[in-house]
Chains A and B, each alone.
Chain A
Amino acid sequence: MAALAPTSLSKDPSSNPTLTIFGSRLKSGQIQQTQFRLCSSFRSNTGLKLKASAEPPALTQERMAETGTAPDLFDEMKNRFLSFKKHKYMENLEHFQALSKAQAPKFMVIACGDSRVCPSNILGFQPGEAFTIRSVANLVPTYESGPTETNAALEFAVNSLEVENIFIIGHSCCGGIRALMSMEDEADSSSFIRNWVIVGKKAKLITKDAASNLSFDQQCTHCEKESINCSLLNLLTYPWIEEKVKRGVLSLHGGYYDFVDCTFEKWTLDYKGSIMEGKNRAVVKNRSFWC
């Protein structure tokens, strides 16, 4: 296969021997630059294997490799990037060139950081389609709780990008929700995790009230879903969000991915119904169950 010579690092216009900032580090050769160079082989040292399916137009499937050493991981990332470049970027060059000018996603997605629940993989979001926040347990704090990374992202997505949908996606076996349900001391803690998941406290109280007769695992499942609804209601505490929902230009949705059975539930917040409940309880509509 043809190999294109990499761009010479010394031609980087930003580099200058006197600089200590990033530009100068480019000259030192510490950076590995991956250009479009097609590799004829793909080293793999398999632990867990993922069988390749028929190559789809949207997703590339490769044999998943689990490599042990640091240099292998560099090569691994490079190969993965080149695969993306070959199968997606180059085959949709015009689309990516347009995207490089601006993004206009219809969705803002709030999902958990859990490695098993990436919305790009599970729901097939392609580059340009979803502005995404990922945090522990996909929680949304209230407007009054002050600046956090989630509300900075909400502000950008809603006011600058003007997304049409906010989609909060929870999932089964969520470690963050489990931590919330397991917490005994709910005040003053030296743990980041506990200090963050306390945002979901209301969901825990509702769960304890409604499902205390269920097993702990079942209560966690209940809380995983309840916390999505609580977060949907928390979205309405942001004035610029509620205003758009009221006008009908922004919809708020919840989703739940069960990765044990591989099912997905989706619902939409019924704004008028929730207002009639004093925004104390999420009223939902348009439920779907995919299996």
Chain B
Amino acid sequence: MAKHSAEVLVEGLKKILISVKEGLDEKVQGKVEKLIAELQGTVPPSLEPFDPDAQKLELGFDFFKNNIFDKNREYFRELAEAQHPKFLVFACSDSRVSPSIVLNFKLGEAFIGRNIANMVPQFDQWRHTEIGSVIEYAVKELGVENILVMGHSHCGGIARLMELPDHSCSHDFIDEWVKIGLPAKQKVKEEANHLPEEEQLRLLEKESVENSMANLLTYPFVRNAVENGSITLRGGYYNFDNGTFQQWKKM
């Protein structure tokens, strides 16, 4: 019970801190933060060694809170109650291709799945539960109207797919994952093997998007929704060499 008391007290102190922060004296705020830290059994923030990465996060959150959240309270109050995104977006984990930045999605607009090489495997209820749960949640629970699979240039996952099989080195997990794109690689090799490797890679990045879009249709609840017109399947390709974005619909 003593543990619960500390936890409840900490939550209460945090709520007080939030509600009175604007007019709060810095010394008093520091004392409250110290008390919170002591109750949690940790060192207060003011006594921690300087951590530039942590500071970067704090500044980023501060900016969001002051410039976006606080200026759109009503919008965020509604959003806290429920989300109604129109898009499910699959994008690569690559640090350069966040769909929120490239396509300027605001909070609440897109349910996003990000993985290596933005791949969607075929329906497999036992093997691919992680991505299956993203699709299932977005389609069945949230009722999204669009599924966008967005590829990009210089994709490391696609480059790895092109290298396989690689007898000199293997990875525990990456190789197994990117094999999802093998049908796309086969197509590119059959029809464009004469092209320089870089061009083949660009083609494979796009063909893999097509492959993932086709795989989406192996999920019965996706296929039904596409056939009855309640979901549109879209492909996208962001090329950060020349700053272009292509998009198309699955015919």
Contact = CB atoms under 8 A, between A and B. Distances in A.
Given A54-B67, A80-B103, A135-B134, A261 B18 contact: yes
A152 B95 contact: no
> Which residue, A99, A134, A290, has most C-beta atoms of chain B within 10 A?
A134
A73 B153 CA distance: 23
Interface string A144-165: 0001111111111101100011
Nearest to B36: A289
B192 A21 contact: yes
A31 to B, nearest CB: 5
B187 A21 contact: yes
B112 interface: yes
Interface string B116-130: 100100000110011
B134 A136 contact: yes
Dominant secondary structure at the B interface:
helix
A85 interface: yes
- Chain B interface size band reads 35 or more
Interface in B171-217: 171-174, 176-178, 187-188, 191-192, 195, 199, 202-203, 206-207, 210
Contact of A113 (B45, B138, B246): B138
> Which residue, A64, A134, A192, A196, has most C-beta atoms of chain B within 10 A?
A192
Interface string A274-291: 000000000011111111
A173 B112 CA distance: 17
Contact of A81 (B54, B60, B103, B176): B103
Interface string B230-251: 0010001000110111111101
Interface residues of A, number: 122
A271 interface: no
B109 A70 contact: no
Contacts of B172: 147, 151, 155
A192 B129 contact: yes
Interface string B85-126: 110000001111110111111111111111110010000011
A156 B175 CA distance: 10
Contact of B133 (A85, A127, A141, A193): A193
22 contacts: A18-B191, A23-B203, A32-B246, A34-B246, A48-B78, A73-B86, A73-B146, A81-B104, A96-B243, A107-B53, A115-B85, A122-B64, A122-B107, A127-B98, A130-B95, A132-B114, A134-B113, A148-B173, A152-B116, A192-B129, A196-B133, A267-B42
Given A156-B116, A195-B126, A262-B69, 5 more contacts: A23-B192, A115-B110, A176-B133, A290-B61, A291-B17
Interface of A: 7, 13-14, 18-23, 25, 30-36, 48-51, 53-54, 56, 58-62, 64, 66, 70, 73-74, 77-78, 80-81, 83-85, 88-90, 96, 99-100, 103, 105-107, 113-118, 120-136, 141, 147-157, 159-160, 164-165, 167, 172-173, 175-176, 190-193, 195-197, 210-211, 213, 255, 259-264, 266-267, 284-291
CB-CB nearest 7 A-B residue pairs: A124-B60, A192-B132, A196-B133, A152-B177, A80-B104, A115-B85, A149-B115
